[in-house]
């Protein structure tokens, strides 16, 4: 069963709830190795996105929601996260432009495009202790699941689990990009806040898919 506009809207609402719930955790992670604004900025961004969901035109498809999230995050989040997430959602929207129902392969394409967008903008590589470390395993797991014939919800579940493992795996890493990179070896021992928020968003996508498909 494919995922449609209801899923995309639900994903976005769940993202806003989940970011709001973890606002302080993200601030704490960011204070340890960054500048302590990640939770605040993401919460502000998703609050703004939520407020705009009701204005979606009738007949909208998932890519319209992704585009709305992209433009809103770019204009409200600031910091590095705004342009990075904005680009991810924009590229993800392009990958599934106009499609009303997304199957497992489409979801894998969406996530891969999102990851490519982040890499393009931020020029970080896997292992640099950034959100790429959540997105790359997520995109890879999604692609593998889709190729094995998994449905959309199972593809998202695989992606979310891989993102969570990826975020956790940033803990021992030494940051090579972003604000944390200035700490050098002292950045080890802390989870990257961008990888953590990425994992939260992908888990919200998987939860929304499970709710939509009744699995």
Partner 1 sequence: MKKIINDPKRVVDESVAGFALAHADLVRVDVDPIRVVRADAPIAGKVGLVSGGGSGHEPLHAGFVGFGMLDAAVPGAVFTSPTPDPILEATKAVDGGAGVLHIVKNYTGDVLNFETAADLAAAEGIEVRAVVTNDDVAVRDSLYTAGRRGVAGTVLVEKIAGAAAERGDSLEEVASVAERVNAAARSMGLALTPCVVPHAGEPSFTLAEDEIEIGIGIHGEPGRERVGLEPADRLVDRLLEPILDDLPYEAGERALLFVNGMGGTPQIELYIAYRRAAEVLTERGIHVARSLVGSYITSLEMQGMSITLLKLDDEMIELWDAPVQTAALRWGR
User: Between 104 and 178, whose beta carbon lies closer to partner 1?
Assistant: 178
- Alpha-carbon distance 22 to 118, whole Å? 22
Smallest gap from Cβ 40 to partner 1, in A, equals 5
With CB under 8 A as the contact rule, the residue among 14, 179, 190, 191 that binds partner 1 is: 179
* 192 touches partner 1 (CB under 8 A): no
Question: If binding is defined by CB under 8 A, does position 51 make contact with partner 1?
Answer: no
Smallest gap from Cβ 199 to partner 1, in A, equals: 20
Number of residues forming the site for partner 1 (CB under 8 A):
32
Is 62 near partner 1 (CB under 8 A)? no
40 binds partner 1 per the rule CB under 8 A: yes
Q: Which is nearer to partner 1, 73 or 153 (CB)?
A: 73
Q: Which long-range contacts (CB under 8 A, 24 or more apart) does 65-74 make?
A: 65/5, 65/8, 65/9, 65/11, 65/12, 66/8, 66/90, 66/92, 66/93, 66/96, 66/110, 67/93, 69/12, 72/45, 72/48, 73/45, 73/46, 73/49
Instruction: Extract the tokens encoding 29.
Output: 């992670």
193 near partner 1 (CB under 8 A): no
3-state secondary structure (DSSP) of residue 143: helix
* Residue 131, both tokens: 């959100």
Establish if 79 lies at the interface with partner 1 (CB under 8 A). Answer: yes
Taking the C-alpha atoms of residue 142 and residue 123, their distance in angstroms, rounded to an integer, is 22
Measured from the CB atom, is 115 or 203 closer to partner 1? Answer: 115
Quote the CA–CA distance of 111 and 136 in Å, as a whole number: 9
Binding residues for partner 1, rule: CB under 8 A, are 27, 31, 34-37, 40-41, 44, 74-84, 121-122, 175-179, 181-184, 186
């Amino acid at each position: 069963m494919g995922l449609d506009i209801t899923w995309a809207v639900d994903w976005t609402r769940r993202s806003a709830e989940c970011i709001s719930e973890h606002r302080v955790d993200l601030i704490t992670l960011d204070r340890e190795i960054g500048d302590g604004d990640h939770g605040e900025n993401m919460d502000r961004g998703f609050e703004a996105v939520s407020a705009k969901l009701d204005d979606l035109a009738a007949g909208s498809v998932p890519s319209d929601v992704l585009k709305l999230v992209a433009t809103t995050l770019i204009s409200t989040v600031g910091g590095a996260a705004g342009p990075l997430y904005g680009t991810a959602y924009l590229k993800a929207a392009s990958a599934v432009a106009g499609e009303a129902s997304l199957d497992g392969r489409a979801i894998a394409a969406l996530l891969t495009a999102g990851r490519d967008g982040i890499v393009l903008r931020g020029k970080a590589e896997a292992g640099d202790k950034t959100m790429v470390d959540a997105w790359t395993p997520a995109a890879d797991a999604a692609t593998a699941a889709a190729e094995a014939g998994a449905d959309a919800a199972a593809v998202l579940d695989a992606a979310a689990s891989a993102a969570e493992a990826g975020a956790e795996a940033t803990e021992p890493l030494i940051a090579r990009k972003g604000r944390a990179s200035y700490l050098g070896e002292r950045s080890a021992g802390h989870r990257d806040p961008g990888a953590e928020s990425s994992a939260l968003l992908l888990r919200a996508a998987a939860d929304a898919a499970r709710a939509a498909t009744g699995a």
